[in-house]
Amino acid sequence: MNANELRKTYIEYFGAKNHEIKKSFSLIPDDPSLLFTVAGMVPFKNYFLGKAPLVFTRAVSCQKCIRTNDIENVGRTRRHHTFFEMLGNFSFGDYFKEETIKWAWEFLTEIIKLPKNRLYVTVFTEDDEAYDIWKDKIKVPEDRIFRLGKETNFWEMGTVGPCGYCSEIYFDLEGGEKGRVSAEDIEKNDDRFLEIWNLVFTQFDKKEDGTLGELAQKNIDTGMGLERLAAVSQGVYSNFESDLFMPIINDAAKRTNKKYGEDEKTDVSLRVIADHCRGVVFLIGDGVLPSNEGRGYVLRRIIRRAVRHGRLLGLKKLFFSEIVPVVTHIMEEAYPEISERKDYISDIIKMEEEKFGETMDKGMEILEREIETMKKEGVQELSGAVLFKLYDTFGFPAEITEEILEENGMSADRKGFDEAMEKQREKAKAAWKGFNAELAEKIPADVIEKTGITEFMGYCVLYDEGCKVLGITGNGKELVSAEKGKKVEVILDKTPFYAESGGQSGDTGILKGEGFEIRIDDTQKFDQRHIHIGEVAVGTVKKGDLARAVVDEERRKAVMKNHTATHLLHSALRRILGNHVEQAGSYVGSERLRFDFTHFAQLTGKELDAVEAMVNEWVQESGEIEIEEMEFSKAKEKGAIALFDEKYGEKVRAVSVKDISMELCGGTHIKNTGQIGFFKITGAGSTAAGIRRI
Ligand code: SER
């Protein structure tokens, strides 16, 4: 079967068994503990943990995943990838081992008809239950079932979270009668035995201290790499020879006048390019942009590694961005959205390719000279300073330099590199001291611990009586009281003051109580506390005092107009430029708004005029702003624009103007678009590759 058929057949098979069919979630998980979605179960984590109400108890998906922990192996083996798709069926307290095993076996042997005599299974050493199901119910001969230890048959997502014993299904790539197979063969001989499906019986929750807690319900999490399944189903030895990769490899090979399969070094580079192009297309498709940090750095590293392998094949011109349409063509049946964004994706890659291309040859020259000298002098390790210079000046991710060194049997001084990097960071920090870092310095941790989460009243009222002063700080210390002239930060139990977030600036105003008055110049959020920042203007305030909190109404109303206008602007941009426009940042103040968004080209005068006119038309229509709390899924269904992916069953706040805009937003808004009065674009530009600013 081809990969499209396999994907579809799998989803339909489990769909017919009452599984909720879930579209792939984003590669960017809504989970601060993870950089990327690394498995099909990641988006369901809260279901496993019982932290979200179960709206369904069975699900099936084909999930986009990224794993980069062994990126240097990608291209060198036939089964390592950065991007891959994971087919998975899930049970949340519904079916358990028996059905899972039965259906997995049926799917492989009856539906896609893999030969039984090439399949082997493993279970966790102590899992007699799973062993017996395979042996007695499925009738797999005992010499094909192996018990393996924790290393292989215990699955965990990371250091914490849902985990459990597993049972794995292996495919014998060589087949035929080759004598008795042992547990050791399965575990170690991965050239012959390819793990194709991992059935995890998720019943534990691993805690920070390493102990295992029992989950309230027994769950199932299975994962089968589509690339591997495609390879075995298509009777090829390597994932790269399946229809998911071969057209990309052939395209790259054609550009270099080389043929795949003739020379191992060439093949490695072709595989790197093919794999990385898929990864890059999906990462950019999900909104990641090349940068020097976090996800953006991973993306940058992947692009640059591919470009370097292109150079190894003799490709001097820009080539990587040109392969994008081959990838989108293969994948568009399952992911039509990447085809819609393919020009944007190509443009981003091209810019990164150009940027690296300009300095790469120079950097390579330096590195080669360096390697030469090291060889002559019998030195093994490249200095951290040179490693850093290649990174900083020539754009070589340290890992790429290390890979090149490794090819020459050398290494690099990573510690020295980290030190150089740290020094540079310190310098940058000194140049710009971020406000929140400052706040962290100002408010001692125990003050935060002693005060509770602030209740925000400011959606409905702009002043409130009886707000209790829970904490006062000044000069980085906790204060029992503060008198006139003292600069302070004040935490209340409840407040109408909006604390800066989601781009909307913090409120200003006055806190007034028996014998004191505090002028508030800004409100910031810190660990869910609203921090009122200002100066005592009259008298003395003491911890425990009650205050009347009065927000500067005129200013806040102006902020609200700008915030609603920001939503209208966002909507107008999507209508005029296309749905690839996504918010990349914003500032909403009283005097103006600023909006950053993803769009590759500079906006023409005509486009800007059209955007402005559209917003003004909506202003004049005086549409009502409706604010409603609803389930995330319902908001999504209604077409709400969200900055994050699905939040299972959680309530979200949807801000909408009928037929015009609907966004999930925690900010404050006016009641009617007419209150905006008039909308004017005063400037448009760009802040980074692919990010425009209005
Ligand atoms: N979470 C398991 C894995 O990634 C099964 O889906 O292998």
Segment 648-679, tens digit of pLDDT = 446 788 999 999 999 988 899 999 999 999 99
Cα 158 to Cα 171: distance, rounded to the nearest angstrom? 26
The answer on pLDDT for 585 being more than 90 is no
pLDDT band at 455 (very low <50, low <70, confident <90, very high): very high
Cα 76 to Cα 280: distance, rounded to the nearest angstrom? 19
Tell me, what's the pLDDT at 410? 95
Alpha carbon 674 to chain centroid distance?
A: 38
pLDDT band at 30 (very low <50, low <70, confident <90, very high): confident
Using DSSP's 3-state secondary structure scheme, residue 86 falls into strand
Give the distance (Å) from ligand 1 centre to CA of residue 256: 37
Residue 155 Cβ inside 6 Å of ligand 1? The answer reads yes
Lowest mean pLDDT among 258-272, 309-323, 645-659: 645-659
Tell me, what's the pLDDT at 650? 62
Backbone phi, psi, residue 263, to 5°:
-145, 125
Residue 88 Cβ inside 6 Å of ligand 1? The answer reads yes
**DSSP structure class, residue 241:** G
Residue nearest to atom 5 of ligand 1 (CA): 223
Tell me, what's the pLDDT at 117? 92
Mean per-residue pLDDT for 568-584? 90
Mean per-residue pLDDT for 416-424? 87
Strand partners, 469: 492
Cα 23 to Cα 2: distance, rounded to the nearest angstrom? 20
In terms of C-beta density within 10 A (0-12 exposed, 13-18 middle, 19 or more buried), how is residue 275 classed?
buried
Q: Where are the beta strands (DSSP E) in 444-603?
A: 455-456, 463-474, 477-479, 481-483, 487-492, 494-495, 509-513, 516-526, 529-542, 546-551, 583-588, 593-598
User: Which is higher by pLDDT, 614 or 641?
Assistant: 614
Q: Which of 110, 17, 101, 82 is nearest to 225 (CA)?
A: 82
Give the distance (Å) from ligand 1 centre to CA of residue 86: 8
**DSSP structure class, residue 655:** E
Q: Where are the beta strands (DSSP E) in 226-305?
A: none
H or E element that contains 664: strand 661-664
Mean per-residue pLDDT for 336-354? 91
Mean per-residue pLDDT for 232-255? 96
Tell me, what's the pLDDT at 644? 45
Percent of the chain at pLDDT above 70? 96
Residue 163 Cβ inside 6 Å of ligand 1? The answer reads no
Give the distance (Å) from ligand 1 centre to CA of residue 87: 9
Which structure tokens are listed for 351?
A: 């810019």
Give the distance (Å) from ligand 1 centre to CA of residue 200: 7
Decide if 630 contacts 650 (C-beta within 8 A): no
Mean per-residue pLDDT for 551-577? 96
Which structure tokens are listed for 370?
A: 């360096």
Which structure tokens are listed for 94?
A: 């519904």
The answer on pLDDT for 533 being more than 90 is yes
H or E element that contains 146: strand 145-148
Which structure tokens are listed for 347?
A: 């443009």
Give the distance (Å) from ligand 1 centre to CA of residue 300: 27
- Which residue of 42, 222, 224, 227 sits with most ligand 1 atoms within 8 Å of its CB, as the best mutation to test the pocket? 222
Atom of ligand 1 nearest to the CA of 40: 6
Q: Is the pTM of this model over 0.85?
A: no
Percent of the chain at pLDDT above 90? 72
Tell me, what's the pLDDT at 445? 78
Mean per-residue pLDDT for 30-56? 87
Tell me, what's the pLDDT at 68? 86
Tell me, what's the pLDDT at 647? 41
Give the distance (Å) from ligand 1 centre to CA of residue 241: 24
Lowest mean pLDDT among 126-130, 155-159, 518-522: 155-159
Tell me, what's the pLDDT at 191? 84
Residue 82 Cβ inside 6 Å of ligand 1? The answer reads no
DSSP output for 370-428 = HHHHHHHHT--EE-HHHHHHHHHTT---HHHHHHHHHHTT-EE-HHHHHHHHHHHHHHH
Q: What is the CA radius of gyration of the chain?
A: 29
pLDDT band at 307 (very low <50, low <70, confident <90, very high): very high
Cα 415 to Cα 383: distance, rounded to the nearest angstrom? 9
Decide if 95 contacts 58 (C-beta within 8 A): yes
Residue nearest to atom 3 of ligand 1 (CA): 223
Atom of ligand 1 nearest to the CA of 88: 6
Cα torsion at 430, 432, 435, 441 (round to 10°)?
Answer: 0
Mean per-residue pLDDT for 300-315? 93
Residue 370 Cβ inside 6 Å of ligand 1? The answer reads no
Give the distance (Å) from ligand 1 centre to CA of residue 225: 9
Give the distance (Å) from ligand 1 centre to CA of residue 221: 7
Give the distance (Å) from ligand 1 centre to CA of residue 122: 15
Residue type, 263: D
Backbone phi, psi, residue 667, to 5°:
-80, 180
The tens digit of pLDDT for each residue in 61-74 reads 999 999 988 888 89
Mean pLDDT of the chain: 91
Mean per-residue pLDDT for 39-62? 91
Give the distance (Å) from ligand 1 centre to CA of residue 391: 35
Atom of ligand 1 nearest to the CA of 86: 6
Which structure tokens are listed for 430?
A: 């000194």
Residue nearest to atom 6 of ligand 1 (CA): 223
Give the distance (Å) from ligand 1 centre to CA of residue 473: 48
Residue 200 Cβ inside 6 Å of ligand 1? The answer reads yes
pLDDT band at 427 (very low <50, low <70, confident <90, very high): low
Q: Which of 148, 142, 145, 144 is nearest to 126 (CA)?
A: 148
Residue nearest to atom 4 of ligand 1 (CA): 39
Tell me, what's the pLDDT at 116? 94
pLDDT band at 159 (very low <50, low <70, confident <90, very high): confident
622 conformational bin, left if phi > 0, alpha if psi -120 to 50, beta if neither: left
Atom of ligand 1 nearest to the CA of 199: 5
Mean per-residue pLDDT for 291-313? 90
The answer on pLDDT for 527 being more than 80 is no
Tell me, what's the pLDDT at 430? 47
Tell me, what's the pLDDT at 155? 92
Residue 41 Cβ inside 6 Å of ligand 1? The answer reads yes
CA distances (Å), origin 84, targets 9, 221, 320, 354, 357: 18, 17, 19, 27, 27
Tell me, what's the pLDDT at 567? 97
CA distances (Å), origin 467, targets 341, 454, 464, 496, 564: 50, 10, 7, 9, 28
H or E element that contains 398: helix 398-407
Residues 6+ apart with CB under 8 A from 636: 642, 646
